[in-house]
Structure 1
């Protein structure tokens, strides 16, 4: 094991202790929570090191940066597109990434549907919901969720497997607990509506500064960057 891999393993071990403690506090099983390593600021070699120390899920934010890394390591991990996705870039993502975490508008849904149909596959997506209401954040307004689900209900190549949100960056993670709780409540609400294409099982929420609170509120995917990987 290289020194870089040893450092990653040490960080991962510390993170694992914090995840286990958060699961214990909230009565959850550790197996319900998966780490997505946010690798937008590191190179392909670091992704290789992450895979070698046991990280399975790789999260990339920008298509142009992700593609060279995917070409090298795409067969060895589960790849998540977690950044804002421009409609004209969807063709580069569908068929490569296992999950898209940032479905937030109809034009993007239509393009993903078109690409999925062309490739004869169903694309698992997370509906991004702007729970906090911050103008700087992408995502559907909660008020628009029902209409969006109705509009997409006849799309055969999109499966809405989860919800995603981004909380404000604050010093005290307790301040954003209502954001994570709000997303979990939307999961429950949507499942009560029983849309065939939107059986919500996953919640993508929580980052390096607040993932423990997110876990306590039901996160199944936590997106970890700085606490796990350091920029090159």
Structure 2
């Protein structure tokens, strides 16, 4: 099937058509991404800064580039002028660096805070206690060039649907809990980025507002 047909098939399965589809284009060449672009996609996710920068330079300027991978602080400056949303903000130091580079680029950069919900130790992110302390404290107030739009999480890599569901459910509950608090000016709890090719339907049932799908659109990774 073509990329256009794959996209249509995925959209037909969506349980929530308000949920945003982010096409994970990492490792994919520009011509493949352009196929998805011509089929109407405008939101693309990359996990490596250099790859994102190279593609952004070659491709149409109405594309929304989502940084979905682990972001190193020394690489923020390269994407600060154009990145649409940074999904994986996993430390306060990274948030400070994004704020610094956003100020230099004369922008406010939207971000999601990555929460560690999986059983694997390899996943990055804040735990619930760290997150609550960050949002309830004073630390975010001076960061005028970032805007926290919500939360992001990655479920355990497992066939066990119950495990995945309970992790996504916990993240949704955390977002709801925070949404009901008095939040700093630069924090909104509107977005919930969770769900990938294998578990996006479970994620949608649990309230995801953005799903990150790669292989089901573009085929297996190169």
> Which residue of structure 1 lines up, in the alignment, with residue 3 of structure 2?
8
TM-score (norm 2): 0.93
> Which residue of structure 2 lines up, in the alignment, with residue 201 of structure 1?
190
Q: How far apart, in 1, do the equivalents of 2:192 and 2:163 lie?
A: 19
- Which residue of the other structure, out of 121, 132, 146, is the alignment partner of 1:158? 146
Q: How far apart, in 1, do the equivalents of 2:95 and 2:82 lie?
A: 17
Are residue 171 (structure 1) and residue 159 (structure 2) matched?
yes
Q: How far apart, in 1, do the equivalents of 2:93 and 2:122 lie?
A: 20
Does the 8 A contact of 1:36 with 1:224 survive in 2? Answer: yes
RMSD of the alignment, in Å? 1.4
> Which residue of structure 2 lines up, in the alignment, with residue 3 of structure 1?
none
Q: How far apart, in 2, do the equivalents of 1:46 and 1:124 lie?
A: 27
- The structure with the greater share of residues assigned to helix is 1
Does the 8 A contact of 1:47 with 1:73 survive in 2? Answer: no
Are residue 69 (structure 1) and residue 55 (structure 2) matched?
yes
Does the 8 A contact of 2:25 with 2:46 survive in 1? Answer: yes
Q: How far apart, in 2, do the equivalents of 1:74 and 1:210 lie?
A: 30
Does the 8 A contact of 2:4 with 2:35 survive in 1? Answer: no
> Which residue of structure 2 lines up, in the alignment, with residue 85 of structure 1?
71
Q: Flag the 1:187–1:74 CA change in 2: closer, same or farther, 3 A.
A: farther
Structure 1 spans left out of the alignment, 5+ residues: 1-5, 24-29
Residue 96 of structure 1 deviates from its aligned partner by 1.4
Q: Aligned pair count?
A: 218
TM-score (norm 1): 0.89
